[in-house]
């Protein structure tokens, strides 16, 4: 081939032979994003849901990932807009963008609540103020004023015997139960698309698809295909 037309240096960023599952690569990209610290929230992903009002999207933090079973974990208020839409439709989609690495990962799938014990354990690891906030905030509901949130937070502190000293880390250990309306969701991937930016918009892109069953579980095999970018 004439040198001028050679695509030397424009090899794709994904392996020529796609792996049987995308999950190890997704995990590696995620971990690399955490290590790179290129943004303050490297575990952030945009979560899309759909409801009667149409589709909606917002940022949440990806707080867990099972490579073996193929699901992501995020935490939220089950009564929030996203929470209600996840439960009503049973479907959600998420997208990560690691700009510094020219990588994007899209995950679509079936969403179900995490086991209660897992949410309990995660809740207890959260900073004290975040635990109080989970009780105080009726996420996505109208609020009369900012003062209403602070007043609710004060009431929650009183209810659980939390003093300002506790907030300063000087009042000893406190255990606050997880609010029933707050916890994790597992997004079981039925589709994962990995995208690597390339010169001249000749990006490299592949999608893996599988069935997860109802209730969802891992173990099924993935089918993969490269896509035009
Ligand atoms: C960097 C970042 C991380 C966030 N992480 C979460 C999260 O993990 N869980 C959550 O419920 N909201 C999180 N939020 C707030 C959501 O984006 C959103 O405002 C909120 O959950 C209400 O969404 P909804 O009304 O669509 O349910 C985060 C926002 C930002 C900017």
Mean pLDDT of 110-139: 94
Tell me how crowded residue 219 is: count the other CB atoms within 10 A of its CB. Answer: 10
In a domain, 176, yes or no: no
**What pTM did the predictor assign?**
0.93
Q: Which atom of ligand 1 is nearest to the CA of 139?
A: 22
pLDDT value at residue 11: 56
Which atom of ligand 1 sits closest to the CA of residue 59? 17
Look at residue 119 in the predicted model and tell me its pLDDT.
Answer: 98
Q: What range defines the domain where residue 18 resides?
A: 12-123+181-226
Query: In sequence order, what E strands does the chain have?
Result: 44-51, 54-61, 64-66, 71-77, 91-98, 103-113, 182-196, 204-209, 223-226
CATH number at residue 87: 2.30.110.10
> Pocket of ligand 1, candidates 50, 61, 62, 131: which has the most ligand atoms within 8 Å of its Cβ, to mutate?
61
Evaluate whether residue 64 is within a structural domain.
Answer: yes
CA of 82 to the centre of ligand 1 (A): 9
pLDDT single digits (tens) 65-85: 999 999 999 999 999 999 999
Q: Is residue 119 part of a domain?
A: yes
* pLDDT tens per residue, range 6-55: 444 455 689 999 999 999 999 999 999 999 988 899 999 999 999 999 99
74 C-alpha to ligand 1 centroid (Å): 10
Averaged pLDDT of the chain: 91
| 136 is a domain residue | no
Active site residues: 201
| 41 located within any domain | yes
pLDDT at 206 over 70: yes
Task: Give the distance (Å) from ligand 1 centre to CA of residue 1.
Answer: 52
Given a cut of 90, whether residue 115 has pLDDT beyond it is yes
Q: What is the mean pLDDT of residues 148-152?
A: 91
What are the pocket residues of ligand 1 if the criterion is a CB atom closer than 6 Å to any ligand atom?
A: 41, 44, 56, 58-61, 74-76, 80-82, 139-140
Please tell me whether the peptide bond between 23 and the residue prior to it is cis, using omega within 30 degrees of 0.
no
Task: Report how many domains make up the chain.
Answer: 1
Q: Are 119 and 126 in contact (CB under 8 A)?
A: no
211 assigned to some structural domain:
yes
131: in domain? no
**Over 90: is that where the pLDDT of 173 sits?**
no
In a domain, 105, yes or no: yes
pLDDT of residue 209: 98
């Amino acid at each position: 081939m004439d040198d001028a037309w050679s695509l030397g240096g424009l090899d794709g960023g994904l392996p020529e032979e796609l792996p049987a599952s995308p999950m190890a690569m997704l995990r590696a990209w995620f971990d690399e994003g955490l290590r790179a610290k290129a943004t303050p929230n490297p575990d952030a992903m945009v979560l899309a849901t759909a409801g009667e009002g149409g589709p909606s999207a917002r940022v949440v933090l990806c707080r867990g990932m099972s490579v073996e079973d193929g699901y992501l974990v995020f935490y939220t208020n089950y009564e929030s807009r996203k929470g209600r839409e996840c439960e009503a439709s049973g479907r959600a989609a998420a997208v990560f963008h690691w700009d510094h690495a020219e990588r994007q990962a899209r995950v679509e799938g079936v969403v179900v609540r995490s086991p209660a014990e897992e949410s309990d354990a995660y809740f207890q690891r959260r900073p004290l103020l975040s635990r109080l906030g989970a009780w105080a905030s009726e996420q996505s509901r109208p609020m009369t004023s900012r003062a209403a949130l602070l007043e609710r937070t004060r009431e929650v502190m009183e209810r659980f015997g939390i003093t300002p000293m506790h907030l300063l880390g000087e009042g000893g250990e406190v255990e606050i139960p997880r609010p029933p309306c707050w916890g994790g969701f597992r997004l079981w991937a039925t589709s994962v698309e990995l995208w690597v930016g390339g010169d001249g918009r000749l990006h490299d892109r592949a999608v893996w698809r599988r069935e997860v069953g109802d209730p969802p579980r891992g173990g099924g095999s993935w089918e993969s295909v490269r896509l035009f970018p």
